[in-house]
Amino acid sequence: MDAGTKFKVAMVVLGIYVLAFAWLQHLAPPELRKKYLRTSVVGIGVIFGAGVLWANPEWEIALILVPAIALFSFLHYKMLNVCMACGHTIWPEGFRRQRFCSKCGAELRV
């Protein structure tokens, strides 16, 4: 397989993973949503990084890609939140954590 095909296969796997998590989280109660939403951020970073490195396994790319994915995943992980009152997923706006739910107005726990 050439690099383009490998990358496409990895992105299809990533898409299936994201859709499955979105569907499962839609059905889950807020406590489980909070737990598995953050797990999905790590999984998405791992699948994306593995797909890129599988398509182009050069150590120079890994030297830049792995720390970048780790940084973005960490920042996203720290800023994601789920409202325990209504179950709404709170996405980050900029580099500040939201203190209140944008749907119901309840105060968010860290």
Q: How far apart are CA 106 and CA 36, in angstroms?
A: 21
Is residue 38 one of the residues assigned to a domain? Answer: yes
What tokens does 44 get?
Answer: 């998405």
**Phi, psi of 93, rounded to the nearest 5 degrees:** -120, 100
Is residue 72 one of the residues assigned to a domain? Answer: yes
Is residue 46 one of the residues assigned to a domain? Answer: yes
Is residue 47 one of the residues assigned to a domain? Answer: yes
**CA distances to 12, 34, 36, 41, 98 from 109, in Å:** 35, 11, 16, 19, 10
Is residue 15 one of the residues assigned to a domain? Answer: yes
Q: What is the pLDDT of residues 13-61, one digit of tens each?
A: 989 988 888 787 778 888 888 888 778 888 888 888 888 888 888 888 8
Is residue 106 one of the residues assigned to a domain? Answer: no
Q: Which residues contact 32 (CB under 8 A, 6 or more apart)?
A: 25
Is residue 96 one of the residues assigned to a domain? Answer: no
Is residue 67 one of the residues assigned to a domain? Answer: yes
What is the chain's mean pLDDT, rounded? 84
pTM of this structure: 0.74
Number of domains in the chain: 1
Q: How far apart are CA 35 and CA 2, in angstroms?
A: 37
Q: By residue range, what is the domain housing residue 53?
A: 3-90
User: Which alpha helices (DSSP H) does the chain contain, by range?
Assistant: 3-27, 30-55, 59-79
